[in-house]
Amino acid sequence: MREFIFTFGFGQTNPDTGRSRASRFARIQAEEAIDARLLMIEQYGRAWAFQYDTEAEAGVAEFGLIELARVPCPTCDGTGTDSSRANDAVPDFLTGEPVQRGPEQCGSCGGGGVIEVELEATTQSKRD
Ligand SMILES: [Zn+2]
């Protein structure tokens, strides 16, 4: 298993939150470069800038890039649903019969069960 570094550029944002991903990077573990790209697209979408073999090539320390990571949503514990938002039985719109509604989609991760976080820099680096 190898590690690949993917950088983001200006104008690239987290589609879930709208937060800028400029000066950020992601770390992907994979056997081959092509596998890493597929994992990257699966986790972050197609809007990223470049793929590198090492942090040094990507300029992580040089440019003070901030690492992004995908972690299980703490609100729903990665389930994507919020059981505290489950409703009691409500009348059906047409029949009036009571219908039990299940847990609602988690409000923090939008039902994906995963959120994006910024990791603390491990090396001395400047922040934007
Ligand atoms: Zn959640």
* Tens digit of each residue's pLDDT, the chain (128 residues): 999 999 999 999 998 889 999 999 999 999 999 999 999 999 999 999 999 999 999 999 999 999 999 999 999 999 999 877 666 777 888 898 888 777 788 888 888 999 999 998 655 444 44
Cα separation values, 14 from 33, 57, 72, 82, 98, Å: 23, 24, 16, 22, 39
**Distance from the CA of 114 to the center of ligand 1, in angstroms?**
7
**Distance from the CA of 107 to the center of ligand 1, in angstroms?**
6
Same domain, 34 and 80: no
Same domain, 37 and 59: yes
Domain membership of residue 40 as a residue range = 1-69+116-128
Does this model's pTM top 0.95? Answer: no
Neighbours of ion ligand 1 (CB under 5 A): 73, 75-76, 106, 108-109
**Distance from the CA of 50 to the center of ligand 1, in angstroms?**
29
Cβ proximity of 39 and 61 under 8 Å: no
Same domain, 51 and 78: no
Same domain, 80 and 54: no
Same domain, 52 and 84: no
